[in-house]
Amino acid sequence: MKILSELDLGNIRAAGVQTGNPLIKASRGRSVLTLVKHSNTTCIRDHHSLGDPRMMENFRLAPEELCFPIIQSISSDRCQHSSAFAIILTTMIRTIEWTDEGVVRIDQRRLPTHELYPVFKTHDEVAIAIEDMVVRGAPAIGVAAAMGIALGMKNSQAASPEEFDRDFHRVCERLLVTRPTAVNLFWAIERMRWAFKHSRREGASIDEIRKQLVVEALDIHREDVESNRRMGIFGAELIPDNATVLTHCNAGSLATAGFGTALGVVYAAVEAGKRVRVYADETRPFLQGARLTAWELAKENIPVTLITDSMAGHFLKSGDVDCVIVGADRVAGNGDVANKIGTYMVAVAAHENNIPFYVAAPLSTIDLTLGSGEQIPIESRADEEVTHFRGQQVAPEGVMVANPAFDVTPHRYVSAIITDAGVAREPYDTSLKALFEKKE
């Protein structure tokens, strides 16, 4: 749940929102939600469930949790003066959370049929969750790894600073080997290492370091959502009204701490009042497009048409697609983009048909240490992902299988890279560097 914009009562009325004490309905874009305040009680209702005691189920949140960030953002002054107020909100899938019990994460393997939120109680469980794709998507992997480290050190039984150092090293090493392509994993672990070293240098106690690691992991989580929001604003400019966008894999809320990269651009365009529909490639073999992108967009009421990967060329040639937007797992300094296997074919077909091919990736996905995409390590995954479908064998026993999880799209096919610091275009070796410098 995220505040899109906070409006005072006057603005809400000016925006054409109906009011009726003590409820005010706020309606804009894809969300219609009502925040109601009567003296000490505050609750939020969506328009489908006004008055329904089960209304919170849609959000899987306790009312206090949901309202906490909202109440914080309203000046107490205004609260005192209005018996009711409304805020325009958008629903945002809660993908990963730090809790006292452990790291809570939506299980992406079970979607779309089951929406489950298992709790991971050790860093090793978090590492296995990354390997098994419970958590997937470059930014989400980075956030999960950071929380995994904080969790591992919370659980550490070390009695001396030296033992604590050794535990920290062991925990980082475990998370480092989970998946090789998404650079956000290494970026997030590096940030946690920096936070650890910094606290150590400052002479912090073991307990203080533990707390500092939690703070750092939560910062990484929060910054990811913020950077997706910024990317959305930059990217939405590139989307025409009434646009049809084709996307590959899942680069939405589920692949990040929230809001998404490629789908974040779609959400931001819709929030800006544009009409957008999406073709989602199913994304063999793990079906991130069919299972996750289609689920997420449908949940956000954005028209989505699911197609198989082999149909993408047909639709790109048909004149029905205005642009392609994908996310990335790692972008090299020259603008070459590693993303889900199949992205390269889409980029070539888009180029052939003069359709802009955009990549949305935060600076944490850009690896300036690599001069070209040839240097990006490509993960190879288990044969069963190709030979089986949900446990059902679909290929002959013993057939040879190749299962690279990513491919590299050369920068010449990339029309622009939408980052959280602005939009980069060719020549990427200078434009990407300039965005990093601008951020510093």
Binding stretches for ligand MRU (CB under 6 A): 136-139, 182, 249, 251, 255-256, 261, 288, 327-329, 339-340, 405
Give the orientation angle of helix 183-201 with respect to helix 161-176, to 10 degrees: 170
**Nearer Cβ to ligand MRU, position 168 or 267?**
267
In whole angstroms, what is the distance from residue 70 CA to residue 179 CA?
A: 36
Q: Could you tell me which residues come within 8 angstroms of residue 249 by beta carbon, excluding any fewer than 6 positions away? A: 255, 281, 283, 288, 289, 293, 326, 327, 339, 340, 342, 343
35 sits in which H/E element: strand 31-38
CB of 385 to ligand MRU, least distance (A): 10
**Nearer Cβ to ligand MRU, position 288 or 419?**
288
Q: Is 39 exposed, middle or buried (0-12, 13-18, 19+ CB in 10 A)?
A: exposed
In whole angstroms, what is the distance from residue 65 CA to residue 409 CA?
A: 42
Compute CA distances 305 → 71, 81, 141, 246, 279, whole Å.
37, 46, 27, 9, 5
CB of 331 to ligand MRU, least distance (A): 11
**Nearer Cβ to ligand MRU, position 45 or 330?**
330
**Nearer Cβ to ligand MRU, position 355 or 361?**
361
**Nearer Cβ to ligand MRU, position 221 or 340?**
340
Compute CA distances 7 → 11, 23, 91, 228, 237, whole Å.
6, 15, 17, 22, 23
CB of 333 to ligand MRU, least distance (A): 18
DSSP per-residue string spanning 219-260: HHHHHHHHHHHHHHHHHHTTSPTTEEEEE-S--SGGGSSSS-
CB of 162 to ligand MRU, least distance (A): 36
CB of 250 to ligand MRU, least distance (A): 6
In whole angstroms, what is the distance from residue 34 CA to residue 23 CA?
A: 7
In whole angstroms, what is the distance from residue 356 CA to residue 243 CA?
A: 12
**Nearer Cβ to ligand MRU, position 56 or 126?**
126
**Nearer Cβ to ligand MRU, position 37 or 248?**
248
123 sits in which H/E element: helix 123-131
Is-contact 269 236, C-beta < 8 A? yes
In whole angstroms, what is the distance from residue 195 CA to residue 315 CA?
A: 48
CB of 433 to ligand MRU, least distance (A): 22
CB of 43 to ligand MRU, least distance (A): 33
DSSP per-residue string spanning 349-372: HHHHTT--EEEE--GGGEETT-SS
Angle at 146 between CA 145 and CA 150, to 5 degrees: 115
**Nearer Cβ to ligand MRU, position 270 or 405?**
405
DSSP class of 83: S
CB of 11 to ligand MRU, least distance (A): 33
| Residue whose beta carbon is closest to ligand MRU | 327
For residue 102, give both structure tokens: 């452990």
User: Is the Cα torsion angle 295, 299, 305, 309 positive or negative in sign?
Assistant: negative
**Nearer Cβ to ligand MRU, position 139 or 235?**
139
CB of 261 to ligand MRU, least distance (A): 4
Q: Which residues are catalytic?
A: 329
Picking from 136, 47, 53, the residue whose alpha carbon sits closest to that of residue 91 is: 47
